[in-house]
Amino acid sequence: MSLGEPTSDSAPFFSDDSEAEGSEEQGGAAAAQRQQEESPSGVSRVRALLTVLILCYINLLNYMDRFTVAGVLPDIEHYFGIDDGKSGLLQTVFICSYMFLAPFFGYLGDRYNRKYIMSFGIAFWSLVTLASSYTPREHFWALLLTRGLVGVGEASYSTIAPTIIADLYVKGKRTNMLSVFYFAIPVGSGLGYIVGSQVSNIAKDWHWALRVTPALGLIAVFLLLFVVQEPKRGAIEARPEHHLQQTSWLKDLQALGKNYSFVLSTFGFTAVAFVTGSLALWAPTFLLRAAIFSGEKAPCVEGHCSSSESLIFGVITCVTGVLGVASGVQASRQLRTRTPRADPLVCAAGLLLSAPFLYLAIVFAEASTIATYVFIFLGETFLSMNWAIVADILLYVVVPTRRSTAEALQIVISHLLGDAGSPYMIGVVSDSLRRTDSFLWQFRSLQLSLLLCSFVAVVGGAFFLATALFIETDRHRAENYVPTDDEPIVVPKSGRSTRVPVSSVLI
């Protein structure tokens, strides 16, 4: 293998025909050359659009599965006879698995065929999710184990999918496609509550709620294998005289650690993960307890907690997610005409505006159901403004060959300090504050513990404001990246030796 060949696609097991250089094909002729000129990524426009739609579908399924458990959490608590602390562990073990596996899949995603990696992860996730639906009453630990293994699928997907979109589109088109991709997060989350609660109500058994997404996941594997085409890494951004070179994983981590925009925006996103993780698991249960405490609902009987709270919260999550992502992207696009710091400023505004509305939603829960839902709607809308923007920031301040690693590192930090512990923390604090097992203290203890979300949202806003101080410098550095002396020298086919800077990353 010559020094000029990309190291990322050299492994035969993971190799794909779409990653081979078109110039080495003798029978390519004029049609292939035109195709390559029109689409440097090696993927046609129609196939690229289909790829994005399939990735969105899988992203939606991932979040449906993640929050199906939250939609039937009261039923699970009654079935296994567990307290709030153990209930919080269901989300925590999943996030921890997902978080610790993310760097491994990020490493693979920067070096090998991405669609095969995702296909394996999603197939494994579907089978484990199906197995979790058969957990017997006396083995709560088995449910914890299977929920932890589900993290394999999401780790294999979330670290890689955005980098495929980045290799298919640039500038405004990339922003639009990422917006579509991240619409699937709140919509999938909302559908998780809706599907979970409604399937449980129809079947009169919460186990059936966990059997919906596995079947849809196997369809996703089929689409990945037979429709998605692997794009060439960074080719769509590369100038003709430039060629991307893979650096060591340790060097990637060192470079990312010095990227202040990446680090600070990751801490800002950690606050988002903390708040969304807490609300995602506990909001429907909190709203049900508020309704029981105020006398609007009867307590759960015979282990079946049929309620409208999960359905309403799911609908709110879907609508606010779409509104939040769309308004965040639009606000950023308008503000970019005035300042290059628009992205982190919009993210900061979203978090700082969400904090008071979330506080009011939690405080008003016992007094006015309507006011509570209105404040939740506003708080979640502002909270959702930064989903696509944070992904945009990562992609244009990090060079193409480090993006999967950056995605993985962001996942580790944001989940380790965010939603890996926040559901469990909220549950433990709630248990510690509860003086008796009355309906009053079941509600009040959870209410007081959820107030922590508003404080964390303010801290996250401060991190995004700090990101705005460095965003211009880091973006310029990524656009004009030049390898250092200890990085490889590329020998072009013309035989002339030259150092090759990584191409610009423009959003």
pLDDT reported for residue 262: 94
Helices marked H in 150-170 = 151-158, 161-166
What is the 8-class DSSP label of residue 206? G
**Nearest Cα residue to 164 out of 215, 227, 217:** 227
The pLDDT assigned to 7 comes to: 37
pLDDT at residue 118 is higher than 90: no
Q: How confident is the model at residue 331 (pLDDT cuts 50, 70, 90)?
A: very high
pLDDT more than 90, % of the chain: 16
What is the reported pLDDT for 469? Answer: 94
CB atoms within 10 A of CB 38: 9
What are the CA-CA distances from residue 129 to residues 89, 209, 293, 448, 496 (Å)?
A: 16, 10, 34, 33, 54
Question: Per residue in 387-399, pLDDT tens?
Answer: 778 888 988 898 8
> By the 8 A CB rule, do 271 and 460 touch?
yes
Output the pLDDT for position 165: 82
* Residue extents of the structural domains in the chain: 40-234, 247-479
Domain 40-234 matches domain 247-479 at the CATH topology level: yes
* pLDDT at position 6: 40
Residues 212-240 pLDDT 10s: 888 888 898 888 888 877 777 665 555 44
What would the mean pLDDT of 279-305 be, rounded to a whole number? 75
CATH of segment(s) 40-234: 1.20.1250.20
Look at residue 107 and tell me whether its pLDDT is greater than 50: yes
- Report the distance separating Cα 150 and Cα 126, nearest Å: 8
Compute and round to an integer the Cα radius of gyration of the chain: 23
DSSP 3-state of 138: coil
Amino acid identity of 346? V
Instruction: Summarize the confidence of residues 156-160 as an average pLDDT.
Output: 79
pLDDT of residue 208: 85
> CA 67, CA 279: separation in Å to the nearest integer?
11
pLDDT at 347: 95
Place of tokens 């340790």: 250
Averaged pLDDT score across all residues of the chain: 77
Nearest to 54 by CA among 141, 161, 156: 161
Question: In 3D, which of 475, 498, 496 has the Cα closest to residue 487?
Answer: 498
| For residue 351, pLDDT beyond 90 | yes
Closest CA to 119 of 111, 110, 109: 109
Least confident of 34-48, 244-258, 333-347: 34-48
Crossing angle of helices 213-226 and 114-132, in 10° steps, is: 170
- CATH fold of 247-479, please? Growth Hormone; Chain: A; (1.20.1250)
Tens digits of residue pLDDT in 168-211? 887 667 777 877 787 777 788 888 888 887 887 777 777 888 88
The 8-class DSSP code of residue 301 comes to B
